[in-house]
Amino acid sequence: MSERIDTETPMWGKVTSLALQNSPAHGLRLWDLPEFIRAFAEVKHAAAHANRTMGLLDDTRASAIADAAVDVARGGLLRQFPLRVVATGGGTATNMNVNEVLAARAGRHLPADVSLDIHPNDHVNRSQSSNDAYPTAVKILLSRQALDVAAALRDLAGSFRRQAERHDGLRRLGRTAWQDAVMVSVSDMHEAHATAADRFAAQFEAAAQTLHVVPLGGTVLGTGVGAPDGFTQSVVEQLAGITGLPLTPSACPADAFAHADGYATLADIAARCAAILAKQCEDLRILSSGPNGGLSEIKLPTLQPGSSIMPGKVNPVVPTMVIQASFSIRAAATAVGMAVVVGEPDINPNTPAVVASLSPALTELAAVIPVFIDKCVDGIAWNRERLAALAARPFDSLITEAEEAGYDVVADSTVS
């Protein structure tokens, strides 16, 4: 829960003000992504500790910056981050928004009898560049979101498996090309849904692991200029402790700065996962179609009226919601892929576009899955009478007959 702090007076400085002047007045704002601001504050917190350890910051300033970073990470200063996520330039304006707010807030943490200046560049940004601080914060943000989605998918797999156990032994008429085929197991169908959810959970977990390799300490273009020897290891160790994530430095800083394919990998997983979730929801909509003119093999929970004019009509509202959510998630992957391609020889400056597309997409995915579980999957009820009626003449026996009499003979007798 965020801590309430009075923030009516702007604490940002000239760079943030200029970026506000030069950017559109509307759009996704940093304050709309509190977990991104938290991650950025954690980066600055770690840097303050590392700079103190390396003798680059005095104890008083380092402690004040660290305390200010904790304030920001707790969410109490959200309104001090008014920039668009996609602001002017790359991530420099965002990095400076954080630096300026932390410098101003840190001044309030200084002892009353101490008169020291805390400068956004000289102190808060010491041994860092927007080149390394920004993507590090992004990787922390997206790795946490990826793990949140993975956890939701594990829960979804559990829900489908409970349905599989509940309907063990129940069979339904399978279909190919929408024509009758052979009898299939209801449990197998639910187990297939669970297996897919688990598979995507594992992919999200693996993607998060790749994002735990961070470029912090590489400063400008991975050169490390402006940071002392040993800073990279020190600051990443500090950041791992603060975030609780198993972060490690990039083995090849030049690669880390030039290539952003890890974001595209995560976006692709999200898109494919959203597509399969949409397909599963469409399965449920088809099987629950009716109640008189459709298959009516399953009944989904009755949640709300499905029509403003047809009394008593009930629609599969949750599956429909998940399907529609999948559109923006899949579109986000296209935007991320474009951002990854359009880089420069030494750096990819498009990370803000990645954040603006991928972070909301992952938020959406993590939000709809629990509702899908609670309001739909957990309440699936199979219509046993309808299943029995549809199972009157499957193709199972005809396949057996064809093994003895031949395909053509059985086919001719069936047609006649």
pLDDT tens-digit readout, 186-244: 999 999 999 999 999 999 999 999 999 999 999 999 999 999 999 999 999 999 999 99
State the Cα–Cα distance between residues 376 and 96, nearest whole angstrom: 45
Low pLDDT (below 70) residues in the chain:
1-8, 415-416
Q: What is the largest CA-CA distance in the chain?
A: 102
- Strand 213-214, strand 248-249: pairing: parallel
Confidence (pLDDT) at 6: 45
pLDDT tens-digit readout, 116-131: 999 999 999 999 999 9
Confidence (pLDDT) at 3: 41
**Catalytic site residue from 307, 308, 328, 397:** 307
pTM of the entire predicted model: 0.94
Confidence (pLDDT) at 415: 66
Confidence (pLDDT) at 397: 74
DSSP three-state, residue 268: helix
- Burial track 156-194 (b if 16+ CB lie within 10 A, e otherwise): bbebbbebbeebeeebbbbeeeeeeeeeebbbebbbebb
**Residue ranges of domains in the chain, CATH in brackets:** 14-126 (1.10.275.10), 132-211+257-382 (1.20.200.10)
Gyration radius (Cα) of the chain, Å: 28
Q: Which two tokens stand for residue 158?
A: 């559990």
DSSP three-state, residue 179: strand
Q: Which two tokens stand for residue 407?
A: 């395909």
Q: Where are the alpha helices (DSSP H) in 296-350?
A: 317-341
| Residue 22 CB burial class (10 angstroms; 0-12, 13-18, ≥19) | exposed
State the Cα–Cα distance between residues 367 and 130, nearest whole angstrom: 31
Residue count of the chain: 416
CB-CB contact of 128 with 219 (8 Å)? yes
State the Cα–Cα distance between residues 58 and 60, nearest whole angstrom: 6
288 labelled catalytic: no
Type and span of the H or E element at 384 = helix 384-390
Confidence (pLDDT) at 191: 98
- Measured CA distances, 412 to 175, 176, 180, 190 (Å): 21, 20, 17, 36
Q: What angle do CA 63, 64, 70 make, to 5 degrees?
A: 90
Q: Which two tokens stand for residue 291?
A: 């109640």
